[in-house]
Amino acid sequence: MWNRWGTARGKGGVYLCVWGMAIFLTVKAKLPESDSVPSKLDVFVGHKDIQLKVNNFKHTLRVNKDFSMNSIPIFEFCSLATGEEHSGACMPSVQRYVDEALQSLYIDHVNHLKRHLINKKTVDSDLNALRDILPANHVKLKYDLVTNNDFTTVCESEFGFGETSLLWLLANPRIKVVAFGKSSETQSSSSAYLQTHFPGRLEIISMDHSDIFRSIETIKSSLECDLLILKQDRLAENNALGKERICQSDKMFWAISILNKKNKNSRIIFDRIQHWSARFLWDCALQIGLLREVGMYRITEGNQADVLGVASFPFDPSEQSEIEVLKSFVRDHQKLYGLTLLMYLNDAYLELTKNWICNLQKLDDQGISILQKTVFITSTDTANAGLKRFSSSLNVFTITYPVTYSVSYGTYEYYRLTVERLNLQNILIQEGSNIMIVEADAQWNSVSIVDTIFAELKEYDIVSANDMQEVDKLDQINAGFLAIRSTMITRTFFQIYVDEYTHTLNQHYDTDGFIGQVGEQHYMTPLLQKYKLKVKWLTPCEVANGQWYIYGARKDCPLPTVILNNYIIGNAEKKARALNFQHWHLRDNMMACQGASMSAAPTRHNRVIKVLRTRRDFLLQYYINIITT
């Protein structure tokens, strides 16, 4: 159950107020200076043990790289130590110690990398032959930067021996690192080491020029960096630029050109701008308006002081991307309704979507209220315009995606569409929105199911239709009828789910035809069990899957609240089945619903036609009665 509780800071801990009863929760931690020195040099298996004292009981939490951007093990620990209802007060304190442990673990990992390179004899046996490890507060600044933003690609102007690439990769499992570097034996050994520990997440672009800006210009790729680090070493190599003291905007243009303009949180870091050459480029970029300053950070460690400059691309605040507009709308929508229904469609699904709208409108005011709570997301402007022509009152947004045609179930292209849908769901869930996924190939006989789901979400993390098959009777998530409550746990879970599912699917990118049952529900169901999320399964009487059409209605519920038109392949086949069961509500012209006009009020002409049809039907029934008696 959900308990309403508040927190208040106390000396040495946190007060919990649960049903008027005060509980004092103390969380203390001690981080060891160093532990778990690895026995092998090829694979780093280090960890940090945190000694925690919770309510006078001592606990040990072992932290490894799996804790990065993952609050689920912290939730499990706090639930065990304090009870699930008190875990919310415990988690922030424990999270802080976990972050410190991960940063300490990074130092161990770098030392392990150094030993690896010495063992490979690619560098001098003296550890000091490699550059100094980043100061601890320098590590913290960059760690916080890369874990607090929606970054997926980090680009570095210099790979070096991979020490900062290691930081990005360890801190955020969603990150891919692209680094520029001159080919060398050290680079090859370092990159091989990182690929072993973080497979598929590092790309090295060899440089033919000492000038990093010239190197970026020559690749002319579609590279989009959410975070770009310009290191002082490379900036200093632009001697001509520095000596002439001329603000050559074309130099900085090439660096800024690879920033991800779709991400307003994208950042560019000028490393160590206390040096005049780096500072000159920083000032130049700001003065001519190529960049906008986010902040300058002075990092002091002993006698050493570094200054980092963090800047962003100067977005026009009046210009919002499609996703930003959608996020803003859903945030306001949440305040009004508390739950947003999402329906995705492309051109091929437009007809089925119109039929679903007609289905809801036949349920009168209740059905119309559901349409007001629904956000339609189209992949093309054509589908958007088609929906708005059909009904101008709908909430329609377009997030473009190149596949507009119907794709075959079970193919890579089919599942790739589901990944696009999952990414959008994830964005909204991470924003704190409670969402419910619905699909157009369904027959709704009542809208009461939405109220049921909204009530269940107060206790459960996820509410889902059960796609259980008649053969094996095993519970299975239905990705097309699924509600998710946005909490710290579900946000972490959903990010892990999307990342792992995308990685699994990408293994089939060059496979033609049917690739098997690797859909969302097939991947999500065991993952939910693994992370022990609370799932409420809707009964077949509440939501029946497409087997209802195959095996017939159950005696205990002849008419389920919702019937999903799945377990059949092809839009034409879905339509034929719906027609056969009188579940088709769209007129042949696809511009109006059966038995109703889409216009707000009937015209005089329509009223006359209705009267004439009523008289015709009366006379027809009159003559039938005469003939049959």
193-236 pLDDT, tens per residue? 999 999 889 998 877 555 555 566 555 556 788 898 887 554 54
φ/ψ of 63, rounded to 5, equals -105, 125
CA distances in angstroms from 628 to 316, 618, 619, 620, 625, listed in the order given: 76, 16, 14, 12, 5
- Kindly state whether residue 15 falls inside one of the protein's structural domains: yes
Task: Give the number of other Cβ atoms within 10 Å of residue 392's Cβ.
Answer: 10
- Kindly state whether residue 228 falls inside one of the protein's structural domains: yes
Query: pTM score, two decimals?
Result: 0.60
φ/ψ of 186, rounded to 5, equals -65, -45
**622/624 Cα distance (integer angstroms):** 6
Of 200, 191, 190, 270, give the one whose Cα is nearest residue 228: 270
So what's the pLDDT on residue 600? 33
Per-residue pLDDT for 17 more than 50?
Answer: no
Q: Do residue 265 and residue 333 come from a single domain?
A: no
**154/169 Cα distance (integer angstroms):** 9
So what's the pLDDT on residue 577? 94
Q: Number of structural domains, the chain?
A: 4
Where do the H-state alpha helices sit in 56-86? Answer: 72-82
All residues at 6 or more sequence positions from 420 whose CB lies less than 8 Å from its CB, including other chains: 379, 399, 401
CA distances in angstroms from 23 to 1, 19, 437, listed in the order given: 19, 11, 39
Q: Do residue 289 and residue 370 come from a single domain?
A: no
**629/619 Cα distance (integer angstroms):** 16
Dig out the tokens for 620 from the structure: 């027809």
**465/524 Cα distance (integer angstroms):** 13
Residue found by looking up tokens 């890579």 in the block: 412
> In this predicted model, what pLDDT tens digit does every residue of 284-330 receive, in sequence order?
778 767 788 888 888 776 676 778 888 887 765 455 678 888 988 99
Q: Is 41 exposed, middle or buried (0-12, 13-18, 19+ CB in 10 A)?
A: middle
Where do the H-state alpha helices sit in 457-603? Answer: 488-506, 520-531, 547-551, 571-580
- Kindly state whether residue 120 falls inside one of the protein's structural domains: no
Q: 437 - beta bridge partners?
A: 342, 482
For residues 491, 493, 496, 501, the Cα torsion angle rounded to the nearest 10 degrees is -110
Task: Give the number of other Cβ atoms within 10 Å of residue 495's Cβ.
Answer: 18
Q: Do residue 145 and residue 169 come from a single domain?
A: yes
Q: Do residue 488 and residue 566 come from a single domain?
A: yes
CATH of the domain at 285: 3.40.50.150
Higher per-residue confidence, 343 vs 124: 343
Structure confidence at residue 6 as a pLDDT band (50, 70, 90)? very low
HSE on the CB side for 559, CA within 13 Å?
6
- Kindly state whether residue 188 falls inside one of the protein's structural domains: yes
CB 434 within 8 A of CB 338: yes
Higher per-residue confidence, 585 vs 467: 585
Per-residue pLDDT for 403 more than 60?
Answer: no
**339/129 Cα distance (integer angstroms):** 58
Q: Do residue 558 and residue 518 come from a single domain?
A: yes
Q: Which domain holds residue 32?
A: 5-104
Task: Give the neighbor-by-neighbor strand order of the sheet with 543-544.
Answer: 442-444, 562-564, 543-544
Q: 10 - beta bridge partners?
A: 13
Task: Give the number of other Cβ atoms within 10 Å of residue 473's Cβ.
Answer: 7
- Kindly state whether residue 111 falls inside one of the protein's structural domains: no
CB 577 within 8 A of CB 549: yes
| Best mean pLDDT range from 83-87, 323-327, 406-410 | 323-327
Q: Do residue 283 and residue 330 come from a single domain?
A: no
CB 562 within 8 A of CB 445: yes
Higher per-residue confidence, 221 vs 474: 474
The per-residue pLDDT of the chain, averaged, comes to: 77
Dig out the tokens for 305 from the structure: 């002081």
Higher per-residue confidence, 221 vs 555: 555
All residues at 6 or more sequence positions from 613 whose CB lies less than 8 Å from its CB, including other chains: none
- The residue type found at 277 is S
**286/291 Cα distance (integer angstroms):** 5
Q: Of 84, 104, 124, which residue sits at a domain end?
A: 104
Q: Do residue 307 and residue 213 come from a single domain?
A: yes
Buried b (16+ CB within 10 A) or exposed e, 418-428: bebbbebbbbb
CB 475 within 8 A of CB 533: no
Q: Do residue 340 and residue 438 come from a single domain?
A: yes
Q: Do residue 276 and residue 372 come from a single domain?
A: no
- Give the SS3 label for residue 30: strand
Q: Do residue 349 and residue 288 come from a single domain?
A: no
> In this predicted model, what pLDDT tens digit does every residue of 105-124 receive, in sequence order?
998 898 888 888 888 776 55
E strands, 273-412, are 292-301, 304-312, 340-345, 374-378, 395-398
Per-residue pLDDT for 623 more than 50?
Answer: no
Q: Do residue 269 and residue 183 come from a single domain?
A: yes
Q: 53 - beta bridge partners?
A: 28, 58
- Kindly state whether residue 591 falls inside one of the protein's structural domains: no
- Kindly state whether residue 83 falls inside one of the protein's structural domains: yes
Q: Do residue 47 and residue 67 come from a single domain?
A: yes
> Which of the residue ranges 62-76, 484-498, 593-607 would you say has the lowest mean pLDDT?
593-607
So what's the pLDDT on residue 351? 95
> Which of the residue ranges 252-266, 548-562, 593-607 would you say has the lowest mean pLDDT?
593-607
Residue found by looking up tokens 């039929």 in the block: 355
Q: Is 286 exposed, middle or buried (0-12, 13-18, 19+ CB in 10 A)?
A: middle
So what's the pLDDT on residue 555? 76
Per-residue pLDDT for 81 more than 70?
Answer: yes
**571/549 Cα distance (integer angstroms):** 16
What percent of the chain is helix, strand and coil (3-state, nearest 5)?
A: 45, 20, 35
- Kindly state whether residue 353 falls inside one of the protein's structural domains: yes
So what's the pLDDT on residue 176? 92
Residue found by looking up tokens 């005089």 in the block: 604
> Which of the residue ranges 73-82, 209-218, 448-457 would you say has the lowest mean pLDDT?
209-218
Q: Is 623 exposed, middle or buried (0-12, 13-18, 19+ CB in 10 A)?
A: exposed
- Give the SS3 label for residue 268: strand
